[in-house]
Amino acid sequence: MSDGNGEGVAVKLARKDFQSDQEVRWCPGCGDYSILTAVQMLLPELDVRPEELVFVSGIGCAARLPYYMNTYGVHGIHGRAPAIATGVALARPDLSVWVIGGDGDMLSIGGNHLIHALRRNVNLTILMFNNQIYGLTKGQYSPTSEEGKVTKSTPYGSLDRPFNPISVALGAEAGFVARTHDMDRKHMMETFRRAHAHRGAAFVEVYQNCNVFNDGAFDGILTKDARPDMLIDLVHGEPVRFGSEQQFGVALNEYGEAGVVRVDDVGVDRLVVHDEHREDPSLAFALSRLSDRPSMPTPVGVFRSVERESYEEATQRQLIEATEKSGPGELAGLLRSAPTWTVD
């Protein structure tokens, strides 16, 4: 925008600038509404404009989010959002690329695409809505459903051991790994803010209630009364402790496994001091294993945040080095170069 003298004028953006004209259509009471609101309220606070954003999704309830954003968006096919987003990020490294998907979309058919986007460190902000169920297809078990889960596709109970999404992301060497939940907008916004600011692959698991097909899956840790003694807020540089009176903490045993202890029993000096910038992901992985189901004390916040060269930066560097060494390529010659063959 010009001020009449040819000088640009900064325009303060608001949530409405990031809202599309589409009617938001999820089941009434769905946690997706809360996540969408957090994203739309955060974006005006970031140094990014709607035309500089791309939201890429796959298939599922969460995947509807790009329709509701006044930004560029791609509604891809099932599980392929990380692959599509990788192409966007490589072609347009100047854009902010967000990937939206559910636990079924990203950890089932899309699991391979997800882990490779993370290990390559593609500059993506990945939000995985985890409701531990397939919602769009009406309530089948998902890769994060607990063992014994009775659904339409597992009438006698699931035999599968579920994925721990944080452990998966850390195992894939993601540089930024965090967890938040749909009951705390402030926590979501701050977590998304940090994920967006990270240069490289940023993975955020969002606990999200499906009130139709898996209602109350996270009540054991997310009800107002439960949170003080069940949510473990990870704070960089501070001992990991929690509880209504900070009476609980996390310590490592002789095998390097993390466990919950009473601070009075072991002393503050025995508690783990959280270091999200630690290059070795072992400590973050140990914290991710504290809870294998949302009925145990569960860490939330940033598990890991380490900087390394992004895939786009490495690709551009390699192209420059190759061009300096051998000169610019010639497309026609490349297409006709050996080996070639004739098909009758």
* Domain boundaries, given as residue ranges, for the chain: 15-218+302-319
Tell whether pTM > 0.85. yes
What tokens were used for 293?
């189901």
Pick the closest to residue 112 from 159, 56, 153, 168 (CA basis). 168
More confident residue, 291 or 327: 291
CATH number for the region 15-218+302-319 comes to 3.40.50.970
Q: Please give the pLDDT value at position 333.
A: 81
Res 32 pLDDT > 90? yes
| Residue-level pLDDT at 216 | 96
The pairing of strands 176-181 and 298-305 is antiparallel
249: β partners: 241, 261
- Nearest-angstrom CA–CA distance, 272 and 51: 43
- Closest residue by Cα to residue 177 from 153, 157, 194, 160: 194
Burial 202-219 (b: 16+ CB within 10 A, else e): bbbbbbbbbbbbbeebbe
Other beta carbons within 10 Å of 237: 9
What are the pLDDT digits (tens) for 211-242?
Answer: 999 999 999 999 999 999 999 999 999 999 99
For the ranges 134-138, 221-225, 232-236, 331-335, which has the lowest average pLDDT?
Answer: 331-335
For the chain, give the mean pLDDT: 94
Banded model confidence at residue 5, pLDDT cuts 50, 70, 90: low
